[in-house]
Structure 1
């Protein structure tokens, strides 16, 4: 067995996949309405996106009674400020709560948290 992808549920799979494709520079392996598979150019596990009309945005940070995140993405970068600015330019927001100095938590356009951290 091998992990092929992590799948993110979203109201619009094609739109969210376009955000991550631009952010990561990955290739579309498969795309149809409501379903997209992205893979890194060098191979390996990727990200997939599935449209779900019942999707509810997670809260960050978690709080009782609110929709919890199920997972988040950690993305290694060479320049934290530059990468953060690029993510925001593409449609992400910087989360209000930042638990660590050397990590920048963002929310993608549909509210999934992802962390940018320095390549050290």
Structure 2
């Protein structure tokens, strides 16, 4: 019996906004919904992303700064080439994300910020 990662859970103060963003950006349907928790699932697998309400949520600062809310995790989404990278960055922006002010990938990845302030990257994977 193997262990598989099933769901990555992101906290936020507006779960409908964040779940709508990831559903639109990824094209993943919402498969579970309750008052403080919404789960989306990939149509190709059982991998999911969920958003969970946190009353005192504070968005992380990226890149990290001393004495500020630290990022606990970020997501990487892989694409096959730089053309797809540009297409997915455009799709992320149209869905509600923004470019992170600081970029470190030399064009191999782009760091984005979701509507709740979570950084995520779109990465060219060989």
TM-score range, shorter chain: over 0.9
- State the Cα deviation string for residues 46-86 of structure 1 (Å, max 9, x = none): 11111112000100000110100000000112411111111
Stretch moving more, 41-50 or 94-103:
41-50
User: How much is the aligned-residue C-alpha RMSD, in angstroms?
Assistant: 1.2
The aligned residue for residue 50 of structure 1 is 52
**TM-score scaled to structure 2, two decimals?**
0.89
Q: Give the 3-state SS of the residue equivalent to 1:31 in structure 2.
A: strand
* Inter-partner Cα distance in structure 2 for 1:26 and 1:89: 16
The aligned residue for residue 36 of structure 2 is 34
* Inter-partner Cα distance in structure 2 for 1:85 and 1:2: 31
Count of equivalent residues: 120
In the TM superposition, what is the alpha-carbon distance from 1:34 to its structure 2 partner?
A: 2.2
**TM-score scaled to structure 1, two decimals?**
0.93
1:24 to 23, 26, 35: 26
Where does the alignment leave 5 or more consecutive residues of structure 1 unmatched?
none
